[in-house]
Structure 1
Amino acid sequence: MLNESLPLVRKYWRYMAVSIISFVIGNIIMQMFKRIQRIYTGNDLNGDTGSGEVKEDHYDCDVDHVPYKDYVKFPTSDMIARSRDFYKTINLRRSVRKFSPEPVPKEIIENIIKAAGTSPSGAHTQPWTFAVVSNPRLKMEIREIVETEEEINYKKRMGIKWVNDLKKLKTNWIKEYLTTAPYLILVFQQMHSFTSDGDKRVHYYKEISVNMAAGILITAIQYAGLATVTTTPMNCGPAIRNLLGRPAYEKLILLFPVGYPAADATVPALSRKPLSDIMIDFS
């Protein structure tokens, strides 16, 4: 029987090969579409799809809607002045990499975190945790984790072009500011959370939500009169998460040293794009 089928295999092997390859490619494309769908529905949980029935009352379906009485409408001239003054304040923001060890009142940090917590989020799931570290021993351990990984990043992972693009900023894997700054604020993204009953709660648009909260955090730091630098602790997340005892469903996204700039702090002489380069007006 096998010998009889060999001539057919030899004759049609090209068609069979094309069929198999098409099936494999089709399956890969289908998996990609499913992955994209999970991302946009909030069910992409890095392998944890939140199995189990979700109860309606876990999503606060019966939340009362009340009149929005907190809005204050200012005269147009005041609105223009306020927007101009706010821009002037935020335009002074720079990435500072040298900090003063001068203490910062804890209340300022708490108010900054509360401001970040006002950020909008998908279905109001508020998928963020802000870990505030001021303990010198913990700051040193975080610095050791970051510097170990950053040295590997600069020497092996980032590539020559990336490293060359950073030369104008004079950065390297030594992060002295992680121990000098009075506070470190670590932004964790909650992949999901749990209800009081122990049921899993899906977080929608969690990455976008956390990014918006981080933007408000940076703005609040600047508005309060403090300085920071945005750091992305590449490949450091699991080690730092374990160090701080955070759960496995939290993912470290950003790390901000916060404090006063050192008296001898310097920043690159860079300029921002003008409005004409970042705004397209369709009026």
Structure 2
Amino acid sequence: MTTRPTPIADFLPIPLPDYQERPIEEMRRGALAFYDDIRTRHTVRDFSDRPVPRDIIETCIRAAGTAPNGANHQPWHFSVIGDPAMKKKIRTAAEEEERAFYAGRAGEEWIEALRPLGTDDSKPFLEIAPWLICIFGERKSASADGKFRKNYYVPESVSIAAGFLIAALHRAGLATLTHTPNPMSFLTEICHRPDHNKPYILLVTGYPAANATIPKHATEKKDLSEIATFF
């Protein structure tokens, strides 16, 4: 079987399709508006079981899929779980790993760092929230001709896509939690993903519970002078 060569036109550049330059003052207003909005995003652990329409989640994932990535291979897969039985299975497996984590696997320094957040091995939100989104990185993936190829900058690409997704869900009016049980390889099996997929984040999303709280410690953000250097 022979493979049809990629047409040379596929490699030719095209004009930048939809960039629009804005006046400086409009740029300032836009940057400030985004900052004012995104700083109201908080990591939530108390979720409501109110349903969220699937099409909203789909649109947010489409936004994540526009993220920059290595060689435009788009090395990610989003397993979206709304089935109660599957969520229960994930919670059971995650809490098993979390019990080992808090019982000593993490080490004293890590546990001490988590203490101000008040976290423990109980993860009821994995069953309560309407949607869990498991974000996988693909070490290799199929190209247009069906052949598998190596992917590049997978952790970096997936991290950027996850950031886009979190921002999109926030813009839609939903709360999120980035849950990272350690290890989290059980998600590959539960989500029926191939071995060359690696789970990076289990993103919990939905409405916050009416009585939701967050740790005061989580509102303490570093000053610009602590996170940026201008030369």
**What is the TM-score with the length of structure 2 in the denominator?**
0.92
1:243 aligns with 2:190: yes
2:212 to 257, 260, 265: 265
Larger Rg: 1
Shift of the 67–274 alpha-carbon distance from structure 1 to 2, 3 Å rule, reads same
Map 1:1-283; keep pairs closer than 5 Å. 57=5, 62-195=10-143, 197-237=145-185, 239-270=186-217, 271-282=220-231
AA in 2 matched with 1:88: D
Residue deviations 1:222-277 (CA, integer Å, cap 9, x gap): 1111111111121222x221122111111111001100111111011131011111
For the residue of structure 1 that corresponds to 2:189, the secondary structure is: helix
Shift of the 166–63 alpha-carbon distance from structure 1 to 2, 3 Å rule, reads same
For the residue of structure 2 that corresponds to 1:62, the secondary structure is: helix
Query: For 1:151 and 1:58, how far apart are their aligned partners in 2?
Result: 51
CA contact (8 A) 1:233 1:253 kept: no
Shift of the 187–60 alpha-carbon distance from structure 1 to 2, 3 Å rule, reads farther
Shift of the 59–69 alpha-carbon distance from structure 1 to 2, 3 Å rule, reads closer
Q: What is the number of equivalent residue pairs in this alignment?
A: 227
Residue deviations 1:134-191 (CA, integer Å, cap 9, x gap): 0000000000000001101110210112112211111011101100100000000001
Shift of the 156–233 alpha-carbon distance from structure 1 to 2, 3 Å rule, reads same
Give the Å deviation of 1:63: 2.9
> Greater helix share, 1 or 2?
1
Shift of the 279–212 alpha-carbon distance from structure 1 to 2, 3 Å rule, reads same
Give the Å deviation of 1:62: 3.3
For the residue of structure 2 that corresponds to 1:123, the secondary structure is: helix
Shift of the 56–151 alpha-carbon distance from structure 1 to 2, 3 Å rule, reads farther
For the residue of structure 2 that corresponds to 1:266, the secondary structure is: coil
Query: For 1:73 and 1:106, how far apart are their aligned partners in 2?
Result: 34
Shift of the 59–227 alpha-carbon distance from structure 1 to 2, 3 Å rule, reads farther
Give the Å deviation of 1:130: 0.5
AA in 2 matched with 1:240: L
Superposition misfits of 4+ residues, deviation over 6 angstroms: 58-61
Residue deviations 1:69-122 (CA, integer Å, cap 9, x gap): 311112211111010010011111111000011111111101110111001111
For the residue of structure 1 that corresponds to 2:216, the secondary structure is: coil
Query: For 1:210 and 1:229, how far apart are their aligned partners in 2?
Result: 17
Query: For 2:94 and 2:84, how far apart are their aligned partners in 1?
Result: 15
195-204 or 72-81, which deviates more:
195-204
Query: For 2:68 and 2:82, how far apart are their aligned partners in 1?
Result: 28
Shift of the 177–57 alpha-carbon distance from structure 1 to 2, 3 Å rule, reads farther
Query: For 2:77 and 2:115, how far apart are their aligned partners in 1?
Result: 33
For the residue of structure 2 that corresponds to 1:175, the secondary structure is: coil
Higher relative contact order (CA 8 A, sep 6+): 2
For the residue of structure 2 that corresponds to 1:248, the secondary structure is: coil
Shift of the 139–72 alpha-carbon distance from structure 1 to 2, 3 Å rule, reads same
Give the Å deviation of 1:56: 10
71-80 or 121-130, which deviates more:
71-80
Query: For 1:116 and 1:194, how far apart are their aligned partners in 2?
Result: 19
